[in-house]
Chain A
Amino acid sequence: MSTLQRLTARLGEILDRDSVITDPVRLRTYDCDGLTYHRATPGVVVLPESAEQIAAVVRLCDEYGVPFVARGSGTGLSGGALPRTDGVLIVTSRMREILEIDIPNRRAVVEPGVTNLAITEAVRDRGHYYAPDPSSQQICSIGGNVAENSGGAHCLKYGFTVNHVVGVELVTPQGEIVELSDRDPGYDLLGAFIGSEGTLGIATKITVRLSRTPEAVTTVLAAFTGIEGGGRAVSAIIGAGIVPAAIEMMDALAIEAAEAAVHCGYPEGAGAVLVVELDGPHAEVDHQFAAVERICRETGAFEIRVAASAEERAAIWKGRKSAFAAVGRISPAYIVQDGVVPRTALPEVLAGIDRLQEEFGIRVANVFHAGDGNLHPLVLFDDAVPGQGERAETVSGRILDLCIEHGGSITGEHGVGVDKSRYMPRMFSEEDLDTMQLVRCAFDPKGLSNPGKVFPTPRLCGEVPGVRRGVHPLVESGAAEQF
């Protein structure tokens, strides 16, 4: 019997029969996340219902030296939840309860399988919402958001998951249940854990901050003949001291795809559209809207639409939010990238992407969070045409190089996962990566929690060298105790 088989035989001590999946056909439904070109059938899948069950499974993994991977809704775009064929996949989809809503303290406590949007839906009628809004918010889980430090269109003004999670209960890779709270003294392990892509343990309970629903929201769609005009508008808006809730841009190819898929009715002939959303107190939003409208006209917008109702607002967002899926209408296959550049470098980097398209004969549709320089180039290819997949892969890597050359990052919100770990050394030195992995060694000395993600080469942790010394003088004198 393999080690995994021996471990599997003992899962019955922890879980019901219907919470352990070993049937090969059912296992295959878990073989990838949202990044479908990386696939691996998990060795075994478990569907726990509590932190205690997760801790017990993880302790078994620790005992047998078997790797484990956590998975929420499986919508990640970097292969962060790609299973291990020799390991356990721990799926949190049965942990979907909102445990507590505490409006006076503006927070909610939820289980990891709760979807992002479910939190907002639960508190909306009390004037609150959960701010981070990844495009997949209808289905993606909060546990996954914590693992990836998910952003969304509105993080320009409101920040990311890490700015909105104030507490996490987690199962460490050694199977302990530990609470991290932003009120506790000590290292900000909460900040280190969020965005660690499942490599430091599994979140089993999450306390999120709730935000007040803004008094006013204004959504503007501005159409430009080309991407340059849109870029100028973005710079001018930021230069005017305005921080919109979101500034999104789509180029002609992305617009074409969105039209084909969802008939979003963007202005005809647009070479680029800009979606600008302003929110806050009425008086503030009115001023800002007047400024944004003026700036868009001055920078060459040929049509400006303003959403007058929630329906119109949704219509403006529909094209943008469906862009990834829509690209399927104009191309059999595509790679989504997630590079980031300083906002002022956008024109140069977009010109660079144009050159790559010509050089390699590969089309790239550009959808991006223009306000914070986060690009989502969709590199289109036909996998039936020999060599095109490889060329698309090359273009995709070159785009990340462009981002790094301009002082940016290889990922703004999708995470490194398996997909981009090989690019990490282009951005970070060996010392940088080794130092990050000191954190990994502290949490997961055996390297069992989601191995093979984030880092191109694992660091061997070994024993901690050195001895404790330097007893505090107060302790020495008996005046104080250390806790």
Chain B
Amino acid sequence: MSADADLAACGTTVRPAGDGDAVAGVLPRWVALPETTEDVSAVLRVAAAHDLAVVPTGAGTMLDWGPPPGRCDLLVDTCCLNEVLEHAAGDLVTRVQAGVTLGSLAETLASQGQRLVAEPPLEGSTVGGMLATGVAGPLGFRYGTSRDLLIGVTVVLADGTIAKSGGKVVKNVAGYDLGKLFTGSYGTLGVITEAAFRLHPLPADSRWVTAPFPEAGSGDAPDLAGTLAASVLEPAAIELDRPVPGGGMLAVLVEGVAAAERAKAVQDLMGADAEIGEEPPSWWGRLPGDDLLLSLRGLPAALAATLRVVDAQGARLALTPHVRGSAGTCDLRVALPTSSDPDRVADFVTAVRDGIRPLGGRLTGVTLPPDVAVDFWGETGALGLMRRVKDRFDPGHRMSPGRFVGGI
């Protein structure tokens, strides 16, 4: 039987792909719309039988993140896996299908005074998309990122095998944690279909304290972000927005019953220019750009030195990098101006990588046009082991091929 006939017979809606379905410029032939984990399994069994390359997607807000797939026959769209399966408020736990959007989940949880402390930077993103990209928001500083909040996961492997790990209790060390392995795996190990998370109570009150970011290097500006991060005032997030070198703002979130009181103490630390607000600044938790975006993870104490490297290379190549992200964890995103010259972008990436490596920093691509000729992910410590994991989970290399480190 042909792949067409088998897909038509597998019990799940499958439609021909259109231009809007392209994955980073690569057009699939079909789009499957499963409604259950079993549907996903049936679709993937057909894909296995016909050697089809598969890319999972949720709302598609981050589908262009990562290099384009080497090939892509079938898009598995999880939009119909959109049920909140359980919200056990008394247990501070929720179980959801992967296609649930974080916005609708937040509404459900808020009705019981709770939240999932994970906020992807784009509106409409799904639980599955957040997990597949491992994208973190400002609150990662205090609460950890999605990998820390995920307590159970159901996945479908390339051959259609349905597997779960973890469960729906917060404390659980039975078996390997497949959730950690799949979080941030960019669809290269299988399709995430269900997830369970630990929740937190919504804070009684919140305050944002903002002040100009004191640039180190121009003299003896104190390491304000470091002071705040180590402060007993326990900020929930410390974010930096720096559209141009030297023109940054620092915003600090304090949450809880005594937020107003603590915000005043934070304000004292941040200096005379600091202002307290009851709403976040407009840029809070948003991406600094979309089509030339990089991710920079460094050591917090090296924040100033890391920014100096970024500035110096930006100046050398006449590119103005816009840096935004967590100053508390030094988990930043760097956007370059749209339609920058691809050779200069490649030069920038390579030079910044070299410059921040001695500082313990790593720079990876998030979205880069295909004409930027640079290793998208950069070096990593355990590529051999990662390849071995990929080979075991997806021996035919059909899941999001070529989208991950080392061409995985």
Contacts and interface: CB of A to CB of B under 8 A. Distances in A.
A243 B178 contact: no
Q: How large is the interface on A (under 10, 10 to 19, 20 to 34, 35 or more residues)?
A: 35 or more
B162 interface: yes
A104 B226 contact: yes
Contact of B178 (A180, A190, A436): A436
A191 B398 CA distance: 24
Interface in B36-88: 53, 67-68, 70-71, 88
Interface in B368-387: 370-371, 373-386
Interface in A419-444: 420, 424, 427-429, 431-436, 438-443
A285 to B, nearest CB: 9
A403 B258 CA distance: 38
Contacts of A440: 176
Nearest to A287: B257
Contact of A412 (B173, B185, B393): B173
Interface string A382-414: 000000000000000000000000011111111
A443 to B, nearest CB: 7
Contacts of B185: 187-188
B97 interface: no
B201 interface: yes
* Chief secondary structure at chain B's binding surface: loop
B257 A284 contact: yes
Interface stretch (B210-218, B278-286, B359-367): B359-367
Contacts of B401: 469-470
A469 B395 CA distance: 10
Interface stretch (A49-57, A253-261, A339-347): A339-347
A286 B258 CA distance: 9
A447 to B, nearest CB: 14
Given A189-B389, A287-B257, A241 B202 contact: yes
B68 A186 contact: no
Given A184-B381, A284-B257, A432 B67 contact: no
A239 B202 CA distance: 11
A410 B384 CA distance: 33
Nearest to A178: B382
27 contacts: A162-B148, A163-B144, A186-B383, A186-B386, A186-B406, A189-B382, A195-B173, A195-B177, A281-B233, A283-B258, A287-B258, A340-B172, A342-B90, A344-B88, A344-B91, A409-B174, A428-B165, A428-B175, A432-B164, A436-B163, A442-B391, A464-B388, A466-B391, A468-B397, A470-B398, A481-B375, A483-B377
Interface of A: 102-106, 127, 148-149, 151, 155, 159-160, 162-163, 172, 176, 178-192, 195-196, 212-215, 235, 238-239, 241-243, 280-281, 283-284, 286-288, 340-344, 369, 372-374, 407-416, 420, 424, 427-429, 431-436, 438-443, 454, 464-466, 468-475, 479-483
